[in-house]
Structure 1
Amino acid sequence: MTTRDIVLVALFAAIMVVLGLLPPITLGFIPVSITAQSLGPMLAGCILGARRGAAAMLLVLLLVAIGLPVLSGGRGGLAVFVGPSAGYIFGWVVGAFVCGLIAQRLVKEDQSELSQFLSFLLASVVGGIGIVYLFGMPWLAYMSGKAFFETAAASLVFLPGDLIKAFVAMLAARAVLAGYPLLPQRA
């Protein structure tokens, strides 16, 4: 990694921390809150690419592990990694990687704006929602002692907000690509 890559990884880790400053919305029927931080893997993957996006999420996990209160609601420390939201948190790393991988493969500078928008949206939905849910829901089902399908049905409450976040990530990634393209400079 170059110095520029390290700075970009740190910048997106800082963006995740800032997203964590927004208070979580707790729900009574599921032990995982709605947070703005699920936007972070989508942004990091679509803007930075697979490796740098995943590295930014790993940096956030490192900050959590050393006890800094960087997660939504001021949470931090090793206990977070065994709580009900741990699957989603670990899913951020893989989700950012998959978002970046899809964006790197599909988004080209010479294609139409509509194609770029749709490619970024697909990357955000598959990586930022699908992969994160794939990690989060089984762990949540295990931790809550409920059946997987019951947990999956309860997790549908996150979907509308996450689709809005995917749309925001799409807009941001396209704007960065147009103004200061980071994605084509794969790292």
Structure 2
Amino acid sequence: MKTKDLTQIALMTALIIVLGMFPGIPILMIPVPIVLQNFGIMLSGILLGGKKGTIAVLIFMLLVMMGFPFLSGFRGGIAVFVSPTAGYLFAWMLTPMLIAFINRMIKHYINCKNNFGPLLISTLLTSVCFTYLIAILWLSIQSHVSLSAAFYANALFIPGDVLKAIIAVLLAQRLNKIIK
């Protein structure tokens, strides 16, 4: 890896950590708050690509696992990986790689001059569909609730995450012009 790559990975890890410093917004009686960290996870996949973005997220997860309170609400430690929110954490580890992979597949099969559409689709499929699938399954198993109850509990977050995905793609496109 080049110094530029290491710097980008470190900066993205730092951004994800900083986004965790913003307090989560609790909703009703759901144990999962609205957070900004998933915005950083999306950006890592969009800006850095699959490999570097995944490395940034994995470094972040290792720091959390070691006990650093970098998750929203100043949480950290191995216990968060068995909490009701752990499904999100597991999905986040694969998000950058999946965003990059799906984006490449869409671009391969659809000749598109504008990158916004394919990038938005890959971000939505990964950051909303895939992440919520894992989060709902985990919440259902961990909290001993039905899949439908876990789905309805998570459905409140989907509109905000769709908005975060749109903003992440728009921001990444502007930043990519500056980076390159």
> TM > 0.5 between the two?
yes
Please give the TM-score of this superposition, normalised by the length of structure 2: 0.91
1:4 Cα deviation after fit: 2.1
- Look up the match of 1:37: 37
The answer to whether the Cα contact below 8 Å between 1:95 and 1:129 also exists between their aligned partners in 2 is no
After superposing on structure 2, the runs of 4+ consecutive aligned residues of structure 1 that deviate more than 4 Å are 104-108
The answer to whether the Cα contact below 8 Å between 1:29 and 1:154 also exists between their aligned partners in 2 is no
Please give the TM-score of this superposition, normalised by the length of structure 1: 0.88
**What pairs up with 1:1-187 in 2 under 5 angstroms?**
1-106=1-106, 112=113, 115-181=114-180
In terms of fraction of residues, the more strand-rich structure is 1
CA distance in 1, matches of 2:47, 2:61: 19
User: What letter is aligned with 2:163?
Assistant: I
**CA distances 1:50-71 after superposition (whole Å, capped 9, x unpaired):** 1111111101101101111111
Number of residue pairs matched? Answer: 178
CA distance in 2, matches of 1:174, 1:55: 21
For structure 2, the 5+ residue unaligned runs are none
For structure 1, the 5+ residue unaligned runs are 182-187
Greater RCO between the two (CA within 8 Å, min separation 6)?
1
**CA distances 1:91-135 after superposition (whole Å, capped 9, x unpaired):** 101112111223345569x963xx211122112101111221122
CA distance in 1, matches of 2:107, 2:19: 26
User: What letter is aligned with 1:46?
Assistant: I
**CA distances 1:17-54 after superposition (whole Å, capped 9, x unpaired):** 11101110112332111101111221010111111111
Q: Percent identity?
A: 36
